[in-house]
Structure 1
């Protein structure tokens, strides 16, 4: 963790000695926009150029670099708080040097969202984005032996599973998990094959049931179930009723739906 934080802080210092980050107003303080349903994470960075710049072109270049560093630093702060499992956050895992290095590469690999750059009244603003598939891979590979190894063993009429969690405050986690209200596991990484999970994540996210049903991963006939609660340290595990859990297990256990991670959770945008 110290190595990653040091790298970011050094870069921030070097650039911000030339371009100063801007504090956003209340409307822009939500500069970490988690677009899970788009499969990416976005942050907004802002910076101003030093007052002693002799020409506008140099001022703009320095302010842009400062805005990019600002956005990346904010993304690191967000990433540190993401839950890997219901009890472990990224910041806990960063003591592992391999994970630390992978996350450093993840942050450095962010890219500017086309059309997001704005230079106005001496303030440069830019939105940086990073697709989360690479982020998932870091942690899936660490727990690769816990994934399912046997292919689908039975057929089902359903092409996917949609969990409507808009009525509960679900906080997504990397190792996504569904439990019954009695605490038994309905779906997690042990139900899915490793490669499909790495390719698209254990779960997809959508802002509505309609949007979820349009996603190719759940097909044209998904089983739709409403969540009744969340559990875990910070509401990271979605809970369904015992009755719905029984239906899910009966219809989807050991099927392609679970093995191929054809699961989507609906959360508020």
Structure 2
């Protein structure tokens, strides 16, 4: 399998894939949007504004879902919208795939510390709210960050950097790469917070055990795009990433990726490349 290192030759692959939007997004049962490139969750509700009744003689005066002025009506709608948004975001957060075996909720059921940290994150109200008035309703959005010092990943107890990345000795002079771009657009891969990347001989190429905690928290362990323009990959994987087409997916949740072993040896042969892998400079391309 031929590996392409520069952006121009990559164009030979483009006719096989349709034009895509860019950041990979999922919309779940709760209508919450998971942005797997920026690593955010966003929910929206349209909350009806309580009817304004200021006349005390009106038979509906003082009844539930009414208000005596516009400010009070907005306040009541915001309160209800916040409650709904917080529930939707927490439900969606726990339904994310943690790795190839568990959802976040399933993983938390196995580990009391994880459950405690998730509860702490939710209780601290990390949501960012936005309210826009509409016709007889309040258009309300809320989002939470998975990354950053106040993001969800900062609350998860993960065993980072406990193992060394495998090394290989190449017969030719090793090439330094700024990151790794795995093309999985032809596969039915599921997105996860901590997917593994393995060789077709069963060797772990990328796992939480290899990466530095600070990078995983600040940038996310991995990012996904459905974008065909190599220029848009630079922020995540640098200007000279190792581009490789995945052979398949694995794991119960179909989140892990399998790469050809001979190309893995080329990629991991340079020490600076391995350092960039430890810095989470990994991008997975998925279909829209």
TM-score, structure 1 normalization: 0.74
In 2, Cα distance between the equivalents of 1:78 and 1:211?
30
- For residue 3 of structure 1, what is the aligned residue in structure 2? none
Structure 2: runs of 5 or more not aligned: 1-26, 51-63
For the 8 Å contact 1:94–1:100, the answer to whether it is kept is yes
How big is each residue's C-alpha offset from its partner over 1:124-174, in whole Å with a ceiling of 9 and x where there is no partner? 2212111111222333x3323635499xx9974211111122222322222
5+ residue gaps in structure 1?
Answer: 1-26
Q: Secondary structure at the match of 2:101?
A: coil
Would the alpha carbon gap of residues 253 and 172 (structure 1) be closer, same or farther in structure 2, given more than 3 Å must change?
farther
Q: Residue 111 of structure 1 aligns with which residue?
A: 128
C-alpha distance in 2 between matches for 1:182 and 1:168: 19
User: Aligned residue for 1:190?
Assistant: 209
Q: Give the conservation status (yes or no) of the 8 Å contact 1:164–1:209.
A: no
Match of 1:124 among 119, 134, 138: 138
CA distance in 1, matches of 2:271, 2:250: 22
1:215 aligns with 2:234: yes
Q: Distance in 2 between matches of 1:253 and 1:232?
A: 29
Selected match of 1:181 from 193, 200, 211: 200
Deviation (angstroms), 1:109: 0.7
Match 1:144 to one of 142, 160, 178: 160
Q: CA–CA distance in 2 between the matches of 1:138 and 1:174?
A: 13
User: Whose Rg is larger?
Assistant: 2
Q: 1:211 and 1:189 mapped to 2: Cα distance?
A: 26
- The 8 Å contact of residues 39 and 220 in structure 2, kept in 1 or not, is answered as no
Q: Which residue of 2 aligns with 1:165?
A: 184
Tell me the distance in 2 between the aligned counterparts of 1:120 and 1:176.
41
Normalising by structure 2, we get a TM-score of: 0.70
Larger helix share, 1 or 2: 1
Which of 79, 88, 92 is equivalent to 1:78? 92
1:31 aligned residue? 31
Change (3 A) 1:219 1:28: closer
What are the within-5 Å matches in structure 2 for residues 228-243 of structure 1?
Answer: 228-243=247-262
Conserved in 2, the CA contact under 8 Å of 1:186 and 1:248? no
Cross-structure match for 1:41: 41
For 2:78, the equivalent position in structure 1 comes to: 64
Spell out, residue by residue over 1:209-261, the C-alpha distance to the aligned partner (whole angstroms, 9 max, x if none).
Answer: 42675433422111111223222122211223344434334457972221222
Q: Secondary structure, in 3 states, of the residue corresponding to 1:73? A: helix
Answer whether contact 2:198 2:204 (CA < 8 A) is retained.
yes
- Of the candidates 202, 218, 222, which is equivalent to residue 199 of structure 1? 218
Measure, in 2, the Cα distance between the counterparts of 1:247 and 1:149.
14
Counterpart secondary structure, 1:215: helix
